[in-house]
A and B are shown apart, each in its own frame.
Chain A
């Protein structure tokens, strides 16, 4: 069974540009989570989808971040326009039972 897959693994963009991160959860998992780790800090929750609906987006830092989950399958996280402080590793996780299964993360560098 495939795990949680994230694309791309790395992205380097200039300040002001737009970047879209993608997450493919484990098949059949209704719950999908986005987390972020900024350099040197802890991993922080961004938002939670149940199927295609946003259950909790309390961790989204500002309105430059937009998350979607098409048809309750894969999810995208768009940052527009990107700022320097958005650099970090973005993790996606999907939930089955009481556990979260994480992807390998997308390392975003804004220069």
Chain B
């Protein structure tokens, strides 16, 4: 059974870099035609796609983050990661990692991790 688990600091200071890791278990991150994605939900707001990555390293980003985002993948560790630089209070959100496939949608999600940006 596929499981995803987010990990990383729950508190980040303004202007610093937010770093999160998603650990995948129950399947190889290199298997299948899947993209591995990061999605977030600010408090009281809706869902926002941040970035997607394939096991080959091919990545895609939401242009609204203006180059602040980097997604990476480590197939040896069965993990993928998110880095968001120059954070502000607007980056406070629950961050989800998930698996996505073209024809079936975003089928598997982590439970989410709350990241607060505050000094």
- Are A and B part of the same complex? no
